[in-house]
Structure 1
Amino acid sequence: MTKKITIAIDGFSSTGKSTLAKQLAKHLGYIYVDTGAMYRAVALFAMQNDFISVNSLDKIGLINSLKNIILEFKFNSDLGFAEMYLNGQNVEKEIRTIEVSGFVSKVAEISEVRSKLVEQQQEMGKNKAIVMDGRDIGTVVFPDAELKIFMTASAATRAQRRFDELQQKGDSVTYEEVLKNVEERDYIDTHREDSPLVMADDAVEIDNSHLTREEQFEAVLDLVNAIVKAN
């Protein structure tokens, strides 16, 4: 029987972590978990319940309401991956907006939010054969993961990718807005007190500024195969 491993993919926003994770999970027959979607769903909940706005954050109110948040991933056979559900509602489209992107890092700073979601994530991966991407997967969620990837690219490159993606979805947004959002999220993610975005000591860094998706996938798949064969 082929050995099953845990693959942790961390990195900055809009580096294509989810795309790579989906590719690997599909190829390996592993479970894929987009932890960013979980934090985005909590941010959406905070927005819907007036816990967060451009000028305010009711941290206590959100913390006290965490017990009312039910997060689920439900597989969509037409799409080939699982979508995010918040309290029984499919919110996959809503959580990908620039508005949610503007709040998600602030919500993810809250220790009680991180604690709730990390516990769920660790439960999902207890049997291995999982690919999980986020900000603290290799450092906090699965520090013993057999393979840890840390993805990066220039802010300008990532902003352009995100801008193109939003344009294709029909969202009305400027490149400057997206770049500002990327830079603000980078700062918050790397400077928060609880589980800041850092590369694990044993992670493999991949700068994909000039890599195609296929080149990146093949490079990481080679790492996976080497680890599986060595064990």
Structure 2
Amino acid sequence: MATFIPVITIDGPTASGKGTIAHRVATALGWSVLDSGALYRLTALGVQQHGVDASDELAVARIAAQLDVSFQGGRIFMDGQDVGCLIRQEQVGNLASRIAAYLPLRQALLDRQRAFRVAPGLVADGRDMGTVVFPDAPLKIFLVADVRARAERRCKQLKEKGFSANLPDLLKDMRTRDERDRSRVNAPLIAAADAHTVDSSDLTIGETVKLVLDLWSGLGFQATRA
């Protein structure tokens, strides 16, 4: 009988801080981490670079199935090129949000995402980690924050990385993306029935990480590395 490998899922809307929290929690536990959004952004970047019609669902899914990507530490490579900064551009993120509604694409990426589940455990962040990809995860977090707070965070992140950013435009795009993510037919952005909803609007990163680790400990598991 296969050994059960635990998973903590952290789902939530754009710029809710789920990626940062997932990495901090994974580091504390000594686990692997899955940034599922990066796979959709990588697909979007591949669509752009190969001149694929973004409205052709099967063509987009083929790009996803053929992705030559690797995650090395905090760096992301596609076709041997470090694309970590490229996939964080807003136009890539907006395209990723559009194509993420395609069922063929989601099916193409499902097995790839589940392959990240290796011992001793995995922290997975995204939008459907707890509802679709890892429905048996012992701990599911649905991380939310006020949309203005999220837009301000994203604006700060982009400027720190050298990208131009306009807060009103980001706020508008974020509201549009939220609505698209929540209303799509395939794997909409919703909290799993057994998820803990955490509002990080007024919490620091450290406070949010501690809350997640405390919830994990409350299940009877070790909260930090042995």
Give the structure-2-normalised TM-score.
Answer: 0.90
Of 155, 160, 166, 2:147 maps to 155
- CA displacement at 1:85 relative to structure 2: 1.9
Corresponding residue for 2:197?
Answer: 205
CA contact (8 A) 1:6 1:128 kept: no
Of 171, 176, 181, 1:179 maps to 171
CA contact (8 A) 1:51 1:59 kept: no
- CA displacement at 1:187 relative to structure 2: 1.1
Q: Secondary structure at the match of 1:165?
A: helix
Of 130, 134, 144, 1:142 maps to 134
- CA displacement at 1:126 relative to structure 2: 5.3
Q: Residues of 1 paired with 2:56 and 2:135: CA distance? A: 31
Corresponding residue for 2:69?
Answer: 71
Matches of residues 1-231 of structure 1 in structure 2 within 5 Å? 5-51=6-52, 57-75=55-73, 81=74, 83-125=75-117, 127=119, 129-229=121-221
Identity percentage over the alignment?
Answer: 36
Specify the code of the residue in structure 2 equivalent to 1:18: G
CA contact (8 A) 2:182 2:190 kept: yes
Q: After the TM superposition, which segments of 4 or more aligned residues of structure 1 sit over 6 Å from their partners?
A: none
CA contact (8 A) 1:101 1:181 kept: no
Between the two proteins, the alignment pairs up a number of residues equal to 219
Structure 1 stretch displaced more, 42-51 or 197-206: 42-51
Gaps of 5+ in 1: 76-80
Relative distance call for 1:186 and 1:109 in structure 2 (3 A) is same
- Kindly provide the CA deviation profile for residues 192-224 of structure 1, in whole angstroms up to 9, marking residues without a partner as x: 111111100100000111111111111111111
Q: Residues of 2 paired with 1:4 and 1:61: CA distance? A: 34
Give the structure-1-normalised TM-score.
Answer: 0.88
CA-based RMSD of the aligned residues comes to 1.8
- Kindly provide the CA deviation profile for residues 75-111 of structure 1, in whole angstroms up to 9, marking residues without a partner as x: 2xxxxx3x22223322111000111122111111111
Specify the code of the residue in structure 2 equivalent to 1:214: G
Relative distance call for 1:226 and 1:4 in structure 2 (3 A) is farther
Relative distance call for 1:51 and 1:218 in structure 2 (3 A) is same
- Kindly provide the CA deviation profile for residues 151-193 of structure 1, in whole angstroms up to 9, marking residues without a partner as x: 0111111001101111111211211121122111101111111
